[in-house]
Chain A
Amino acid sequence: MMRCAVYRELLNADLDNELMSEESAEIRDHLTQCPHCSRAYDELAATSRLVQDCLVPYVAPDVLKARIRSALAASDTDAAPDTDELRRIIVPRQWLRVAAAGLVIAVASSVTTFGAVRERSGSRTVRDEILTSHVRSLMPGHLTDVASTNQHNVKPWFNGRVDLSPPVPGLDSAGFVLDGGRLDYVAGRTVAAVVYLRRQHVVNVFSWPEAGGDAEVSVVITQGFHLASWRSDGVAFWAVSDLNAFELSQFVMLFQHGGPEAKQ
């Protein structure tokens, strides 16, 4: 079908949130009617998830940054930069093998999550706000309103401040240490933010009441941060961190189950 060919060209862009909302709505509409395009979309989403799950974003060490900067500075005066050399530094040759190694685990998690990713790609603004709040919280003095490693101090603090009592499971024994809680402002409402630390990495868990059925966890990566979102018992949750996807997924699983030694 002629229209399908046109839509196929735009599926990637839609998956990456690069389309205008009207275009995106038109594609979404088509996907509900066309099983072939829908399957093509699912495959693209699965591929994207698989690559994201398997590849860990590395931050270049300062020494390497300095070397690249000086190479670039030198290239301003010399000829064109040696792009092959830069590629060798930036792109590990074996990256695809790493992806293949993670295939077995990732396939299982991708299959369960990409449906949710598609459904909620419309919530991009919320995602952007969550990311902004997370980054702001990392600035000095912004992380917590109530600083405590004791869940029995943090949980009651939210009483009367937000319209839910956010879960604050104790996850110390799993290596996620409670750091405190604070109020934040996301999606036009005051929300609860519970803060955990893993080594020097901060995990913010935002939550607020939201209508709708339970939704599986889906993880997206934006600007080097992983954002996991899910909905459970009428509460929307977003967990954000620069931890890798594996550690964040581990955190989310523990958080959902109330901690390693929870007896629910």
Chain B
Amino acid sequence: MTPARSELSAEFREISILREVQGMSYAQISTVAGVPIGRVMSRFSRARKRLASILGTSQGAS
């Protein structure tokens, strides 16, 4: 794992922790992180893709 791949950006980390660890809904994350719910969705979608490639759970399906 290269240093570049071992880090998530702060916005991805924030959203991933609020969702996966705290179990918050998108609406709650929207309030806590202060971003519109649409952006929570798109940001989280990118965050999970990034995590999949870091953690090796992606098999390369596009």
Q: Mark B residues whose CB is within 8 Å of A.
A: 1, 6-8, 10, 13-14, 16-17, 19-23, 25-26, 41, 44-45, 48, 51-52, 54-59, 61
Contacts and interface: CB of A to CB of B under 8 A. Distances in A.
A12 interface: yes
Given A18-B25, A50-B55, A96-B7, A43 B61 contact: yes
Contacts of A224: 22-23
Interface of A: 9, 12-13, 16, 18, 36, 39-40, 43-44, 46-48, 50-52, 55-57, 87, 90-91, 95-97, 99-100, 103, 107, 110, 221-225
A95 B22 CA distance: 14
Q: Which 4 A-B pairs have the closest CB atoms?
A: A46-B57, A47-B52, A51-B20, A47-B57
Contact of B20 (A13, A100, A110, A221): A221
Contacts of B25: 16, 18
B57 A221 contact: no
Contacts of A99: 55
Binding site of A, secondary structure by majority: helix, strand, loop or mixed?
helix
A97 B1 CA distance: 10
Contact of A9 (B16, B17, B45): B45
A33 to B, nearest CB: 16
A100 B41 contact: no
Contact of B16 (A13, A51, A103): A51
Contacts of B16: 51
B6 A52 contact: no
Contacts of A95: 13, 17
Given A12-B48, A100-B1, A223-B23, A91 B17 contact: yes
Contacts of B10: 87, 91
Nearest to B6: A96
Given A50-B57, A52-B20, A96-B7, A12 B45 contact: yes
A51 B51 contact: yes
